[in-house]
Amino acid sequence: MADIVSERYALSLYEVAADEKKEKAYLDELTAVCEVFGREPDFLKMLTTPSIALEEKQNVLRKAFEGRIEPFLLNFLMLITEKGRVGLVQDMRQAYKEHYYFENGIVEVRAVTAKPMSAALTEKLKEKMSAVTGKQVVLETSVDPQIIGGIVVKLGNEQFDTSLRTRLSELAARLTNTIA
């Protein structure tokens, strides 16, 4: 249920942003708001506490965000606080981002390597994934020394694993089956 609710709120926000031609600005600002909530979990907890009056919650939202984010986005935050949905704001941001990416031909790719990739290699991977998908690529990289070597690329629900750890595991499984 939370997914459907989050998607509906996110789509409504996206439609307003599109009317104002500020889709990216709204995404950036909503992301910044979610980062604030992530850094200050008590802030979000206060907004979701039923015993605190709505007016007090809205005053806190105004003090924290007025003049820093789009006025409609501030009104959106007040609305979801009033409706008791502010706890879903992270899900709403994710749904908004997915809709924005879909509408703008953007795909998110995650790459995990054993050591940090150089800027040149990162750019090369980004270009390759763009050629494969035919879309603009937003590349997120991370490091996991446990994969030993190679790379694990996640594109949507697909994963391409050429890590040394996986290859060694597959080799061990084949040897075990051969011996047994």
Q: What is the DSSP string of 134-174?
A: SSEEEEEEEE-GGG-SSEEEEETTEEEE--HHHHHHHHHHH
Number of domains in the chain: 2
Question: Of the candidates 70, 101, 132, which is a domain's last residue?
Answer: 101
Q: Whole-structure pTM over 0.85, yes or no?
A: no
**DSSP state for residue 85 in the 8-state scheme:** -
Amino acid at 111: A
What is the model's pLDDT at position 180? 59
Whether 158 and 142 map to the same domain: the answer is: yes
Residues 111 and 92 in one domain: no
Which residue, of 101, 118, 134, is where some domain finishes? 101
Structural domain range at position 173: 105-179
Quick one: DSSP state of residue 30? Answer: H
3-state class (DSSP) for residue 51: coil
Same domain for 50 and 6: yes
pLDDT for 2? 56
The burial of 9, by beta-carbon neighbours within 10 Å (0-12 exposed, 13-18 middle, 19 or more buried), is given as buried
User: In a structure prediction context, what are the per-residue pLDDT tens digits for the chain, which is 180 residues long?
Assistant: 458 999 999 999 999 999 999 999 999 999 999 999 999 999 999 999 999 999 999 999 999 999 999 999 999 999 999 999 999 999 999 999 999 999 999 999 999 999 999 999 999 999 999 999 999 999 999 999 998 888 999 998 888 888 888 878 888 888 888 775
Question: 110 and 57 in one domain?
Answer: no
- β-pairing, 106-113 with 136-143? parallel
pLDDT at 99: 96
